[in-house]
Amino acid sequence: MMKSVGAQSHGNPASGRSWWAGATCAGLLAVGGVLVPALAAADEPRQGGTLNVILDPEPPMLILGLNQQSPTQVVATKIYESLLRYDFDLEPMPSLAREWEISDDGLTYTFHLQEGVTWHDGEPFTSHDVVFTATEFLPETHPRASSNFRQLEDVTAPDDHTVEFHLDEAYPAFILAFEVASFPIMPAHIYEGTDYNDNEMNDHPIGTGPFKYERWSRGDYVHLVANEDYWQEGKPHVDEIYFRLIPDAASRALALETEQVDISSYNNIEPFDVPRLEQLPHLEVVTEGYEIAAPLTWIEINHRVEPMDDPRFRQAMMYALDREFIRDNIFMGLGRIPTGPINSVTIEYSDDVHIYEHDPDRAVELMEEMGLERDGNGNFAQIEMLPLPYGETFIRLSEYIRESLGQVGIDVRLRSTDSAGWAQRVADWEYEITNNFVYQYGHPALGVSRTYICDNIRQGVLFTNTMGYCNERVDELFAEAAVENDEERRAAMYEEVQQILVDELPVLWLLEMEFPTIVNTRVRNHTTSAGGVADTFADLWIDE
C-alpha cells in the first residue's frame, strides 16, 4: 500500500527526531498546496520588466549538474528544475513532480510528473530524463550523489510521467534529496552517450525552468529571458534577468544604493556594508531563504601533505585561531561559532564535544609534542594557503589566518587565484590549505557525511572529501545512522561521529554563516522557499 501526498503536513524534517518516527511509520506526507511565503505581496503580480541581480564571482559554467559553486547556482536555478522545492520549514512542495507517494515500508518513492513540460529547445520532458539524471549523469558528476543515493537500488519509469525510486532499505532523509542543486534534472537527449564535461551544449544550457539562456558576456553579465512555453501558465512575470558581474565589493554596494541592481545574495555584500545599506529606505535585508543551505565555513586541509596529516598539527592550528574575533570583526556578527561538523540548525546536531578555545600556548605545545623544531625564522612549518576568491571578507579572513598561525610558528604563504582556478585546484587536490564553505541540505545524511566518508574521495569533483580524510568508524556511523529508525540509537551514532570528527579535525570549522539578501523594495516575491535566491524566480515580479 502507498501513502499519497496530502494537503496536510505530518512532521517537519527540520524540527528534530520526531519527524523520523512519523516518516517511517506512516510515510512522509508533504505539503501539496502552494506555499504562501512570508514575504509575498497581497496585490496582483505585475507583468514585465527587467530584473538586475548581482553575480560575484563569475561562475566557471552554468551547467548545474556539473558545477555546484554558489554563483552557478544563483543563475542556473532559473534554467534547471528538480522534482521538488521546499518551504521555509523544509517541507517538500511540487515542482516537476506534481504529486508523490512513499510506500509504507519506506522503500519506494513514486513521483507523478507534470504534463506538457518541454525543454527550452522544444523537446518533451519525460520520465526518461529523470531516470537518466539519477542513474547515469549525477553519479558521475555530482559531489553528493554517492551519499544521497547510497540506498538506491534502481530507478524505473512505468510510463512517460511516472518515476519510481526503489531503495534497498528505508532512508527517510531521501525526500530531502530532490531540491534543484542536489538533483538538477538534465536533458537526456543532449547528454546521453556523450562526455558530459566536454559536451558542445555546455556553453548553452537547456533546462525546463522559467528562464532561458540568452547570452553570457564574459566579465560583464549573464542574460536570461522569459520562457514563453513555461509549464506554469502566466509565469514568469518578468521579461528578463541580467546577472551583473561586479567584482569590486564597494561597487556592488554602490550599485544597490543607486538602484542599478535590484538584489544581492549569499556573500555578495561584505558584512561591514550591511548595516549601512539596511538603513536606506529603498532597500530591505532578508535572512530567510537559506534554510536548506545551513552554510558552514572552514579551513580545508589536504591530509596528503606533512605535517598536516597529523591530527595534533590540525589541533594546533585550531587552538591558534580566535573564532570569536573571526565572527565579530571579519563577518561582523553574521553567524555562530560552530562546535563541529553539523550546523546547530541542522537535524541531529550535538554540542557534546570538545570545545577548542583560543589557546596559542597549547598550539605550540602540540607541535613540540610532535617533535617539530623551529627553523632559523622561528617556524615549525611552512604551508601554502589558497584563499577562497569570494570577496573582500575571505581575503581578510585569509590574512587573519596567516597572522594567527604565524604567531605560533606556522608560516603561511598566500597564493591567490580566480574562482575557476580555485575550484580546479581544490578538486584536483593541488592545494595545502584553503577556505571553503559547504551547505548541509537539511540533514547530515545529505550534506555532511559526503565531506568525510572514505568512498567520496573523488579527484576532480569539488565539494567531495577533497581532504583525503578516511576513518572507517566514521563511515560506519554515518551509514548506520542514515537508516536507523530508533531515535535514541540514531542520536547516539550522530553524537559519536561528531565527537570523533571534532577530535581528529579533518577541517577547521570557523563559522556557521548567515547570509543577508539585500533587495530593492519594488521587487516582490523574491524569497518564496528555503532555496531563497537560488530558486526559480518564477513568482517574482517588479512593482512600478
pLDDT band at 43 (very low <50, low <70, confident <90, very high): confident
pLDDT (tens digit per residue) in 417-460? 998 999 999 999 999 999 999 999 989 999 999 999 999 999 99
What's CA 154's distance to the chain center, in Å? 26
Picking from 175, 206, 237, the residue at the C-terminal end of a domain is 206
Dist. CA 499–CA 476, nearest whole Å: 14
Q: Where are the alpha helices (DSSP H) in 77-224?
A: 127-132, 138-141, 145-148, 188-191
Q: Are residues 385 and 522 in the same domain?
A: no
Picking from 206, 226, 258, the residue at the C-terminal end of a domain is 206
Q: Are residues 408 and 468 in the same domain?
A: yes
Residue 15, pLDDT above cutoff 70 = no
pLDDT (tens digit per residue) in 55-99? 999 999 999 999 988 999 999 999 999 999 999 988 999 999 999
Q: Are residues 485 and 535 in the same domain?
A: no
Assign residue 7 the CATH number of its domain. 3.90.76.10
Confidence at residue 147, expressed as pLDDT on a 0 to 100 scale: 79
Q: Are residues 408 and 338 in the same domain?
A: yes
Residues 6+ apart with CB under 8 A from 120: 79, 206, 207, 208, 212, 213, 227
Q: Are residues 69 and 151 in the same domain?
A: no
Q: Are residues 478 and 494 in the same domain?
A: yes
Assign residue 466 the CATH number of its domain. 3.10.105.10
Dist. CA 436–CA 262, nearest whole Å: 27
CB 53 within 8 A of CB 74: yes
pLDDT (tens digit per residue) in 158-205? 999 999 999 999 998 999 999 999 999 999 999 999 999 999 999 999
Assign residue 252 the CATH number of its domain. 3.40.190.10
pLDDT band at 267 (very low <50, low <70, confident <90, very high): confident
If we measure between CA atoms, which residue out of 39, 33, 37 comes closest to residue 93? 33
Residue 419 belongs to what domain range?
A: 296-513
Q: Are residues 72 and 200 in the same domain?
A: no
Q: Where are the alpha helices (DSSP H) in 271-343?
A: 274-278, 311-320, 323-325
Confidence at residue 233, expressed as pLDDT on a 0 to 100 scale: 96
Q: Are residues 100 and 122 in the same domain?
A: yes
Q: Are residues 329 and 439 in the same domain?
A: yes
Residues 6+ apart with CB under 8 A from 329: none
CA separation (Å) from 319 to 315, 356, 360, 367?
Answer: 6, 6, 6, 11
pTM for this one? 0.79
pLDDT band at 157 (very low <50, low <70, confident <90, very high): very high
If we measure between CA atoms, which residue out of 15, 30, 29, 9 comes closest to residue 346? 15
Q: How many domains does the chain contain in total?
A: 3
Residue 502, pLDDT above cutoff 70 = yes
Q: Are residues 176 and 285 in the same domain?
A: no
Q: Radius of gyration (Cα) for the chain, nearest Å?
A: 23
Q: Are residues 71 and 216 in the same domain?
A: yes
Picking from 146, 172, 206, the residue at the C-terminal end of a domain is 206
Q: Are residues 249 and 375 in the same domain?
A: no
